[in-house]
């Protein structure tokens, strides 16, 4: 089966649907790969690199579309502005197509592909479930868009992101508000925090608050209880009362922050307006707004898709090609998503669509000329069984099988003292009968256990894994014991003790080094 990778004809689109590395993977699966000449040039992939990976290079789109069994691309098929021929009409009858498609917004294109008796898989329709994460091209591109949004904001912003104290004076850190803590929002938060900015974030889904805080940002809370979690990990349309409350919050924040990054999208509808013109007017001169929803109408009033404009002294960035501005990285990730999809759909070297598989069914929007979008709704996840409340202790007699009343703390203390007295008596008896050498070793062991526990194991468990805690505690015991044995008259014993102390010290130092590295992941420099 031949897979064709055409050059993208959408204006300013630099991505390509395959990289040389992904070509090698496709060939290993049993496919032949055909690449249109210069398809990857804008993403820094040369024709020679594709040839070296085993692909065939063809000179033009007509040669590619007509000679392959499956076409894989990034953007939906469109009319070529030069030849005036629509890409959907170039697809061979009964052939396959994989690309972003946006079926809710492109009914005419869906009908056009169905007329070609094609089987079409939309990468934007991959179900957002755990098993399909490796195929989730939307998340791959959103991750890049969030990162690039911060870089674009930094480019147009007139100051450092990080605060500095210099001989010339103090530079305050930039304040950034990110609206929407999905994949793109979290990527923007992480990038901005790493660059030293003070970051605030808002989302209608309360469960993302911990993710935002763990990345070093402040989560903006509303004193309004309503869950904004929608299907597939997206937010849902909120009530008018909630919208009013969040708009008041945004109006307040707009006066304080230097940069706003908006990422709010609701599937199938225009992006909601969250930043009004009045809010833009209230922002400080030189502030920046980056609208990641510009292609769907934008979250900012006055945004112009694909352009950068300055209104009321505020720069409004409405780029619709943020992933394409990191074309090499975006192409690599998208190509890997495609490889994972084809790997799941290829059995014994043959490509087939399994309609019983929830991921393949959800991704397939046209099957052999029949439009089958939207897919059936996924069943809700099974409800977690509620933990039965612990019944209060019953009063009764033990001999009849009933539990007695709660134990008195004073009784617990008496019992503990009794056990300690018995332990002391046993040690006294052992001391009276055991040889002196045994007592010396027992004393060393007891002191080693105590010191090892207090010095090593007493570290907060959240700082390293339980296994590391236990191994460090044991290493502490070994170090103390080895130090005591270094006073022995035997040279062999001293050498072995020194080796033991060295190895145990390496283990302890390694444990603390890992702990410090973990702490640095959550510490703002």
Active-site positions read: 128, 133, 136, 139, 234
Helix (H) or strand (E) holding 247: helix 240-256
Helices marked H in 365-435 — which ranges?
Answer: 409-433
CA distance linking residue 439 with residue 418, whole number of Å:
24
What one-character-per-residue DSSP string does 299-314 give? SBTT--TT-EEEETTE
Tokens of 133: 């994460």
Task: Count each helix (H run) and each strand (E run) in the chain, helices first.
Answer: 16, 19
In the block, residue with structure tokens 């420099």: 525
Bridge partners for 72 per DSSP? 98
Of residues 333, 332, 329, 307, the one with CA closest to residue 318: 307
Q: Per-residue b/e over 216-231, b at no fewer than 16 CB within 10 Å?
A: bbebbeeeeeeebeee
The length of the chain, given as a count of residues: 525
SS3 484: helix
Tokens of 109: 């294109």
Tell me the Cα Rg of the chain: 32
């Amino acid at each position: 089966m031949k897979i064709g990778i055409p050059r993208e004809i959408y204006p300013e689109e630099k991505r390509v649907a395959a990289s040389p590395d992904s070509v090698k993977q496709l060939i290993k699966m049993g496919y032949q790969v055909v690449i249109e000449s210069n398809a990857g040039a804008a993403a820094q992939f040369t024709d020679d690199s594709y040839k070296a990976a085993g692909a065939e290079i063809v000179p033009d789109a007509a040669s590619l579309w007509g000679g392959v069994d499956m076409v894989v691309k990034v953007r939906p098929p469109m009319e070529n502005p030069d030849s005036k021929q629509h890409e959907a009409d170039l697809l061979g009858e009964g052939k396959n197509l994989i690309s972003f498609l946006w079926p809710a917004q492109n009914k005419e294109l869906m009908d056009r592909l169905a007329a070609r008796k094609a089987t079409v898989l939309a990468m934007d329709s991959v179900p957002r479930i755990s098993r399909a994460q490796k195929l989730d091209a939307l998340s791959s591109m959103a991750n890049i868009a969030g990162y690039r949004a911060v870089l674009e904001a930094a480019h147009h912003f007139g100051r450092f992101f990080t605060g500095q104290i210099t001989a010339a004076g103090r530079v305050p850190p930039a304040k950034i508000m990110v609206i929407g803590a999905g994949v793109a929002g979290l990527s923007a938060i992480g990038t901005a925090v790493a660059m030293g900015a003070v970051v605030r974030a808002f989302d209608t889904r309360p469960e993302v608050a911990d993710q935002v805080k763990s990345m070093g940002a402040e989560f903006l809370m509303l004193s309004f209880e309503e869950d904004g979690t929608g299907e597939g990990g997206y937010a849902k349309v909120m009530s008018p009362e909630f919208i009013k409350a969040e708009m008041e919050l945004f109006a307040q924040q707009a006066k304080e922050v230097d940069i706003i990054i908006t990422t709010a999208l609701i599937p199938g509808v225009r992006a909601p307006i969250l930043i009004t013109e009045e809010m833009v007017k209230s922002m400080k001169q030189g502030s920046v707004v980056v609208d990641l929803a510009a292609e769907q109408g934008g979250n900012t009033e006055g945004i112009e898709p694909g352009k950068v404009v300055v209104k009321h002294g505020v720069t409004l960035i409405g780029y619709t090609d943020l992933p394409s501005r990191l074309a090499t990285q975006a192409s690599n990730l998208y190509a890997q998503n495609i490889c994972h999809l084809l790997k799941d759909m290829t059995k014994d070297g043959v490509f087939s669509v399994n309609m019983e598989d929830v991921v393949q069914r959800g991704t397939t929007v046209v099957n052999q000329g029949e439009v089958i979008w939207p897919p059936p709704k996924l069943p809700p996840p099974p409800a977690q069984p509620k933990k039965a409340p612990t019944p209060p202790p019953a009063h009764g007699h033990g001999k009849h099988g009933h539990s007695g009343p709660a134990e008195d703390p004073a009784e617990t203390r008496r019992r503990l003292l009794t056990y300690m007295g018995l332990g002391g008596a046993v040690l006294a008896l052992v001391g009276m009968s055991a040889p002196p050498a045994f007592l010396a070793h027992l004393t060393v062991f007891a002191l080693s256990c105590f010191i090892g526990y207090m010095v090593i194991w007493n570290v907060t468990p959240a700082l390293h894994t339980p296994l590391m805690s236990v191994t460090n505690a044991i290493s502490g015991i070994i170090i103390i014991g080895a130090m005591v044995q270094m006073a022995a008259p035997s040279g062999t014993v001293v050498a072995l003790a020194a080796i033991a102390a060295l190895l145990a010290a390496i283990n302890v130092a390694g444990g603390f080094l890992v702990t410090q590295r973990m702490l640095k992941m959550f510490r703002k420099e």
